[in-house]
Amino acid sequence: MFNLENEICNWLRALRRSKNLEDSDIAELESHLRDEIDHQIEKGLNEEAAFCAAMEKSAPVDILRQEYDKAKLYERSHPFWHPSRVMPALIWSYVKIALRKIRRHKTYSFINVAGLAVGMSACILILLWIQNELSYDRFHEKADQLFRAVKHERMSNGRTLSYPLFPTGFGPAFKGDYPQVLETVRFRHSRGRIVRVGDNSFYEDNFAFADPELLKIFTFPLLEGNPDTVLSAPSYIVLTEEIAQKYFGEKNPIGQVIQVDGTHEFQVTGILKTIPHNSQIRFDFVVPFIALEQYGWEMFDWGRYGIRTYVLLNEHTDYQKFNTQIEGFLKKYVEDTIMTVSLQPLTRVHLHSAGISASGTDGDIKYVYIFSLIAFFILLMACVNFMNLTTARSENRAREVGVRKVVGAKRRNLIFQFFGESILLSLMAFIFAVGLAQLTLPAFNSLTGKEITFQIFTQPTLFIGLLGIAALTGVIAGSYPALFLSSFHPIKTLRTKFPSGTGGGLFRETLVASQFVLTICLVIATVIVNRQMHYIRNMNLGIEKDHILCLDLKGSLEDRYQTLKNEISRNTSVIAVTAASDAPAGNHMSISLNDWEGRDTDAHYLLDILSVDQDYLKVFGLNLVEGRFFRAEETNKAEHPIVVNETAIKAMGMKDPIGKRVRESRIIGVIKDYHFDSLHNAITPLGMICAPEDYDSLLVKIRPGNLSETIAAIKGSWLEVAPEYPFEFRFLDESIDSLYKNDQKVGKAINLATVLALFIACLGLFGMASFSAEQRTKEIGIRKVFGASIPSIFFLLSKQFSKWVIAANVVAWPVAYFVMSKWLSGFAFHTSLNIVFFVFAAAVALMIAMITVSYQTLKAALANPIHSLRHE
């Protein structure tokens, strides 16, 4: 039995097998066929005959398909590179829908992408910084076998004093005593050398004395010269390429002679490749260690501590085990010492040297942790925002989900689509973030004082890592809409207006609140850090630190200090001048305080030593408690007079101290305690002696007033006495400030992080507020129609957000309290944690939140209800 419809169906099915026939083509062909059949029937044929006749006139299916294939080649609207040509149609449709959504909801898309991009770029910068910090000293081929020797001294007040400084005898003896030690290198860094090349002289700060093995065990490659011989004679010198360029330009530097400090001559034998910026050992010049003999050092001495010693261990030596063996090493060579020795892996020197004095490093693993945490939290906040907004917006798409399901989308198709969309957005944010990081890198470098470069394509691990973070953010953000929305029942979403914005509300509120927890913590931290910095700057140190200039007595100037001092004092604007070993801003020499008259315990302290002249008290406004200070004429007395501070007297338990003996000195006076070190530390025992050979600075107290004239006058006096040295000065208060360089860095970082966090949190809040105002448009309209006033509506809408912010405070306060009291306890002197700070932070957070929200709520409250109610 012939069935026309069946035949037509079969024919269409045959056509459908060609992928180049679109549905519309088939519909068109079908309608043609039916027209033709109708036409034949009109002529009087029966259905079967009409169908056959129509088929007769049509081209066979194969040929028709071929023609369509040809037609496809002619398509010009989609060039070959067009995405629709390379990806399945459904995926391209997803992409189109996603892009369309972005275009239609510009504000949300912007908030979404911008927030994430800012967070990511901050994260990128911090990761770069961390990567740089962790890379220190790892470029040495034998980095895993290299160590730095450190000595420790445990004091009776519980303090352990660690220094990486040893006497010259230590290195060779250490190498001789242990078979595990393959090599030791003694290294002394030295500042303030005058270098003369031809007729030019240069003032150089980066001079090093080192055993010749330096160039063998470390990876400091030579551009010219043989590493075995370049340091083989005491008069040889090796320069870095920059210095060679600076001194000799195009000339061949090898064989040239340079003069150091006017007396010593060195011959250039090698050129070093520029030392990488992530090297903790830095120098521009290196001369053989033995050249130190010319500067009054003995080569195998056990008394004078000032030499860094680096150790190359056998490959298979476990240094921790080895450390237990070498602990008492010094007892063999130094009588009656309490000093112990340990080895610190070179790769840990940069970051793990907290507690080691004169370490010569500015890194600290603590900051790596702090910044990692900050990076993590900022990224987390940005992700939370992203998630929040994506989720909130996606509920408006319930209907789309319904339609897609009705036309046959499976759940996994929808999951795929939503994940795809959020990953697309996060990748867009990633691209912006990379650009933003590139742009802000110079500013970041000047903030951190580093020379980090960011070439994303030459750092594949970084690139892949960051891309992974971006993709992960997309996946996390997309997970809620993907998993929740795709579960909707199509009938429910299509039949009634789907109540959007209700599901997941609590989830989103919690997320926003948690953002505010972080933000409030950061605000509190900012307030306290700034407060502490202010406290330090304004604390009474017990000395006058204003209007004091520090001039360094470089090189051979020590011998001429008296002339210089007299010359400078002659200026009328100068109140007083004193010569001393150090300005009262950290970095003192210290000796063991283990021998004094009437010592009845085996207590052992450390005595910081300052070498000063008779005018020290006058310059700094210090007061004597007992006895007398130095007199001008007693400088060379054999009695070794010493003035100590109150803390020292207390530590030694002395009564009536004047005239008593401390080590080989006799106490002539007791000075009132003052802060001569960072406020991180409590006041420790201090002794002042009068030893002109140790004077390193001239401290000049000047009259406030015409500063530039005064400095010009002092410069005049300086140039008269020491024309060969450049006149350089610092202000004492600056030097004191620089004791807190790291704290200030943290402060700055926290300030920045706070601003960023506030920005991101506000973006999120803004997005949520506008979303919620939009959701409640109709409700607000109705309320207004029934007579609600604008303030009451404003209050209604704001209440919701303030609630979260206040809840956030409850969580943030204890956290901030705990963390900040920890931070403050790192200072021996610190401001107290006042409730006011917390209230202040809460107020700031609340105020900023209100301002952010008010734009949207006011807009909603002021809107004319006609507009919101018209479309019903």
Taking the complex as a whole, how short is the minimal distance between the CB of residue 22 and another protein, in angstroms?
8
> Which DSSP state fits 673?
-
Residue 486, phi then psi, degrees to nearest 5: -70, -10
* Residue 682 makes contact with another protein by CB under 8 A: no
Q: Is the dihedral angle over the CA atoms 239, 241, 242, 244 positive or is it negative?
A: positive
Residues 470-489 that bind another protein (CB under 8 A): none
Taking the complex as a whole, how short is the minimal distance between the CB of residue 800 and another protein, in angstroms?
49
Distances (CA, A) of 194 to 118, 430, 727, 865: 48, 51, 13, 83
> Judged by CB, which is closer to another protein: 67, or 709?
67
Q: How many CA atoms lie within 13 A of 683 on its CB side?
A: 19
Considering only 17, 44, 74, 303, the residue that binds another protein (CB under 8 A) is 74
Q: HEC string of 778-818? A: HHHHHHHHCCCCHHHHHHHHHHHHHHHHHHHHHHHHHHHHH
Number of helices and strands in the chain (H, E): 28, 24
CA distance 819 to 841: 15
Taking the complex as a whole, how short is the minimal distance between the CB of residue 92 and another protein, in angstroms?
17
* Residue 373 makes contact with another protein by CB under 8 A: no
> Judged by CB, which is closer to another protein: 32, or 332?
32
Taking the complex as a whole, how short is the minimal distance between the CB of residue 399 and another protein, in angstroms?
25
- Give the x/- contact pattern for another protein in 751-790, rule: CB under 8 A: ----------------------------------------
> Which DSSP state fits 340?
E
> Judged by CB, which is closer to another protein: 27, or 257?
27
Considering only 2, 62, 71, 87, the residue that binds another protein (CB under 8 A) is 71
Taking the complex as a whole, how short is the minimal distance between the CB of residue 24 and another protein, in angstroms?
7
CA neighbor of 358 nearest in space, from 411, 306, 429, 413: 306
| Beta strand 160-163 pairing with 257-260 | unpaired
* C-beta of residue 200 within 8 angstroms of C-beta of residue 255: no
Taking the complex as a whole, how short is the minimal distance between the CB of residue 10 and another protein, in angstroms?
16
**Binding segment (CB under 8 A) for another protein, from list 20-28, 124-132, 397-405, 796-804:** 20-28
* Residue 46 makes contact with another protein by CB under 8 A: no
Taking the complex as a whole, how short is the minimal distance between the CB of residue 517 and another protein, in angstroms?
57
**Binding segment (CB under 8 A) for another protein, from list 25-33, 267-275, 357-365, 479-487:** 25-33
Instruction: Output the six-digit token pair for 434.
Output: 């990379």
* Residue 17 makes contact with another protein by CB under 8 A: no
* C-beta of residue 289 within 8 angstroms of C-beta of residue 150: no
Taking the complex as a whole, how short is the minimal distance between the CB of residue 2 and another protein, in angstroms?
21
CA neighbor of 447 nearest in space, from 205, 750, 867: 750
> Judged by CB, which is closer to another protein: 71, or 373?
71
* Residue 75 makes contact with another protein by CB under 8 A: yes
> Judged by CB, which is closer to another protein: 70, or 570?
70
| Beta strand 285-288 pairing with 207-210 | parallel
Residues in contact with another protein, total (CB under 8 A)?
Answer: 25
Which neighbouring-strand residues pair with 194?
203
CA distance 587 to 579: 16
Instruction: Output the six-digit token pair for 274.
Output: 């520029």
Considering only 17, 24, 199, 200, the residue that binds another protein (CB under 8 A) is 24
* C-beta of residue 593 within 8 angstroms of C-beta of residue 601: no
> Judged by CB, which is closer to another protein: 71, or 257?
71
- Can you state the angle between helices 460-480 and 365-394, rounded to 10 degrees? 40
> Judged by CB, which is closer to another protein: 78, or 778?
78
* Residue 748 makes contact with another protein by CB under 8 A: no
> Judged by CB, which is closer to another protein: 17, or 497?
17
* Residue 76 makes contact with another protein by CB under 8 A: yes
Taking the complex as a whole, how short is the minimal distance between the CB of residue 99 and another protein, in angstroms?
23
Residue 640, by phi and psi: left (phi above 0), alpha (psi -120 to 50) or beta? left
CA distance 374 to 414: 35
- Give the x/- contact pattern for another protein in 851-870, rule: CB under 8 A: --------------------
| Beta-carbon count within 10 A of 319 CB | 17
Considering only 77, 455, 540, 636, the residue that binds another protein (CB under 8 A) is 77
* Residue 57 makes contact with another protein by CB under 8 A: yes
Taking the complex as a whole, how short is the minimal distance between the CB of residue 55 and another protein, in angstroms?
10
* Residue 50 makes contact with another protein by CB under 8 A: no
> Which DSSP state fits 396?
G
- Give the x/- contact pattern for another protein in 686-705, rule: CB under 8 A: --------------------
* Residue 25 makes contact with another protein by CB under 8 A: yes
Taking the complex as a whole, how short is the minimal distance between the CB of residue 67 and another protein, in angstroms?
4
Considering only 62, 67, 298, 301, the residue that binds another protein (CB under 8 A) is 67
Residues 26-45 that bind another protein (CB under 8 A): 27-36
Output the furthest CA–CA distance in the chain (Å, rounded). Answer: 143
**Binding segment (CB under 8 A) for another protein, from list 74-82, 277-285, 545-553, 779-787:** 74-82
* C-beta of residue 542 within 8 angstroms of C-beta of residue 647: no
Instruction: Output the six-digit token pair for 340.
Output: 């112990």
Taking the complex as a whole, how short is the minimal distance between the CB of residue 61 and another protein, in angstroms?
10
CA distance 351 to 371: 14
Considering only 9, 63, 257, 491, the residue that binds another protein (CB under 8 A) is 63
> Judged by CB, which is closer to another protein: 63, or 406?
63
3-state secondary structure of 690: coil
> Judged by CB, which is closer to another protein: 57, or 822?
57
> Judged by CB, which is closer to another protein: 37, or 392?
37
* Residue 587 makes contact with another protein by CB under 8 A: no
CA distance 460 to 463: 5
> Judged by CB, which is closer to another protein: 77, or 636?
77
CA distance 633 to 614: 9
CA distance 828 to 539: 13
Residue 340, phi then psi, degrees to nearest 5: -115, 160
> Judged by CB, which is closer to another protein: 51, or 129?
51
Considering only 14, 52, 64, 380, the residue that binds another protein (CB under 8 A) is 64
3-state secondary structure of 148: strand
Considering only 13, 16, 70, 277, the residue that binds another protein (CB under 8 A) is 70
**Binding segment (CB under 8 A) for another protein, from list 55-63, 135-143, 580-588, 831-839:** 55-63
Instruction: Give long-range contacts, CB 8 A cutoff, 24+ apart: 561-568.
Output: 561/692, 561/695, 561/698, 562/692, 563/721, 564/698, 564/717, 564/718, 564/721, 564/722, 565/698, 567/717, 567/718, 567/720, 567/721, 568/698, 568/700, 568/714, 568/717, 568/718
* C-beta of residue 183 within 8 angstroms of C-beta of residue 149: no
Considering only 52, 58, 459, 680, the residue that binds another protein (CB under 8 A) is 58
Place of tokens 């025992």: 685
Non-local (6+) Cβ contacts of 199 within 8 A are none
**Binding segment (CB under 8 A) for another protein, from list 67-75, 116-124, 600-608, 864-872:** 67-75
* Residue 9 makes contact with another protein by CB under 8 A: no
Taking the complex as a whole, how short is the minimal distance between the CB of residue 437 and another protein, in angstroms?
44
**Binding segment (CB under 8 A) for another protein, from list 56-64, 497-505, 508-516, 796-804:** 56-64
CA neighbor of 485 nearest in space, from 382, 405, 383, 385: 405
* Residue 89 makes contact with another protein by CB under 8 A: no
> Site residues (CB under 8 A) for another protein?
24-25, 27-36, 57-59, 63-64, 67-68, 70-71, 74-77
